[in-house]
Structure 1
Amino acid sequence: MGDENLNRVVRIPILVPENRVNDIHATRFKTAYCQQQTSDYCWQKPKHPDDLVTKNEDAENALYHPLREDTDQLHANLVQKAIKDVTGNMKTAKRNWDAGDRVNKPTYDICREDNSYAITYDKRAATFFKYKVSLATVNGRVECDYVLPRELEGTPYERYVLDPAWSFGTSKLVFDGERFWLHAVCKRPKLTAPVWATHDTVVETDGGSDTQSSTRILGVDLNVKHYSVVTSAAGFYGKADELNNRREQFERARGGLQQTGTRSAHVSFHEMGGREWRHFDEYAHECANGIVEDALRTRCTHVVFENLTRIRKRISNAPEYQQWLFKRIREYAEDKLELLGIETSTVNPRNTSKRCSNTECDSCTKRNPSKKSFECVECGLSLNRDYNAARNIALQWFAEKSESSRGQAGRTCQSGRATSQLALKSGTLSPSGVFTPKAWLSTDKLAPLGAGS
Structure 2
Amino acid sequence: MKIVSQVKLLPASTHDADALAATLRACNRAANAASEVAFAKGLKRRNVLQDAVYHRIRADFDLGAQAAVRTVKKVCDAYATLKANLRAGNCGPEGSKRRARAESRPIRFRETAAQPYDDRILTWNLDQQTVSIWTLAGRLKGVPFVCSSEALQLLACRKGESDLVMRDGMFFLIATIDIPEPPVSQPDGFLGVDFGIVNIATTSDGQVMSGRQVNRYRKRKRDLRSKLQKKRTTSAARVLVRQRRKEARYATQRNHIIAKKLVATAERTSRGIGLEDLTGIRQRVTAKKDQRARLSSWAFAQLGSFVEYKARRAGVPVVRVDPRNTSRQCSNCWHTHRSNRTDQARFVCKSCGTILHADHNGSRNIAHRADAVWQRGAVNRPRTA
CA drift of 1:7 comes to 1.0
1:121-151 CA-to-partner distances (Å, cap 9, x unmatched) read 3345644432444556799x834443435xx
1:94 aligns with 2:87: yes
CA distance in 2 between counterparts of 1:252 and 1:133 reads 42
Conserved 8 A contact 1:220-1:229: yes
What is the aligned counterpart of 2:210 among 226, 231, 238?
238
What is the aligned counterpart of 1:303 among 270, 273, 276?
273
CA drift of 1:234 comes to 1.7
Which residue of 2 is the match for residue 294 of structure 1?
265
- More deviation, 63-72/84-93: 63-72
1:120 aligns with 2:119: no
1:173-202 CA-to-partner distances (Å, cap 9, x unmatched) read 335696654322233222324xxxxx6xxx
Distance of aligned partners of 1:26 and 1:280 in 2 relative to their CA distance in 1, 3 Å threshold:
closer
What is the aligned counterpart of 1:223 among 175, 184, 196?
196
1:171 aligns with 2:162: yes
1:314 aligns with 2:284: yes
Report 1:44-59 matches (<5 A): 59=45
Q: Which residue identity is paired with 1:146?
A: V
Which secondary structure state, in structure 2, belongs to the residue aligned with residue 395 of structure 1?
A: helix
Q: Which residue identity is paired with 2:364?
A: R
Q: Which residue identity is paired with 1:370?
A: T
1:225-275 CA-to-partner distances (Å, cap 9, x unmatched) read 3x22111122111144x6545544444455455556666666666666676
Which residue of 2 is the match for residue 48 of structure 1?
none
CA drift of 1:23 comes to 6.8
Q: Which residue identity is paired with 2:163?
A: K
CA distance in 2 between counterparts of 1:349 and 1:184 reads 36
What is the aligned counterpart of 2:143 among 143, 146, 150?
146
Question: What percent of counterpart residues are identical?
Answer: 23
Conserved 8 A contact 2:154-2:177: no
CA distance in 1 between counterparts of 2:118 and 2:353 reads 60
Report 1:137-286 matches (<5 A): 142-149=139-146, 155-156=147-148, 158-163=149-154, 165-175=156-166, 180-193=171-184, 213-214=186-187, 216-225=189-198, 227-240=199-212, 243-259=214-230, 280-286=251-257
Q: Which residue identity is paired with 1:294?
A: T
CA drift of 1:162 comes to 4.5
CA distance in 2 between counterparts of 1:262 and 1:137 reads 37
Which residue of 2 is the match for residue 417 of structure 1?
none
Q: Give the greater-gyration-radius structure (CA).
A: 1
1:151-177 CA-to-partner distances (Å, cap 9, x unmatched) read xxxx43x32235565324322133569
CA distance in 1 between counterparts of 2:225 and 2:123 reads 46
Question: TM-score, normalising length from structure 2?
Answer: 0.72
Question: TM-score, normalising length from structure 1?
Answer: 0.63
Question: Is the helix fraction higher in 1 or 2?
Answer: 2
1:349 aligns with 2:342: no
Conserved 8 A contact 1:285-1:329: yes
Which secondary structure state, in structure 2, belongs to the residue aligned with residue 10 of structure 1?
A: strand
Distance of aligned partners of 1:331 and 1:69 in 2 relative to their CA distance in 1, 3 Å threshold:
same
Q: Which residue identity is paired with 1:305?
A: L
Which secondary structure state, in structure 2, belongs to the residue aligned with residue 396 of structure 1?
A: helix
Q: Which residue identity is paired with 1:187?
A: D
Conserved 8 A contact 1:307-1:347: yes
Which residue of 1 is the match for residue 301 of structure 2?
327
Note the residue ranges of structure 2 that are not aligned, 5 or more in a row: 59-63
Q: Which residue identity is paired with 2:303?
A: I
Distance of aligned partners of 1:97 and 1:80 in 2 relative to their CA distance in 1, 3 Å threshold:
same
- More deviation, 89-98/251-260: 251-260
1:364 aligns with 2:336: yes
Which residue of 1 is the match for residue 368 of structure 2?
395
Conserved 8 A contact 1:304-1:394: yes
Note the residue ranges of structure 1 that are not aligned, 5 or more in a row: 44-52, 54-58, 150-154, 194-198, 200-212, 407-419, 421-453
- More deviation, 345-354/282-291: 282-291
CA drift of 1:324 comes to 2.1
What is the aligned counterpart of 1:8 among 4, 9, 14?
4
1:30-70 CA-to-partner distances (Å, cap 9, x unmatched) read 44444444455669xxxxxxxxx8xxxxx346545444465
Conserved 8 A contact 1:10-1:185: no
Report 1:374-393 matches (<5 A): 374-393=347-366
Conserved 8 A contact 1:363-1:376: yes
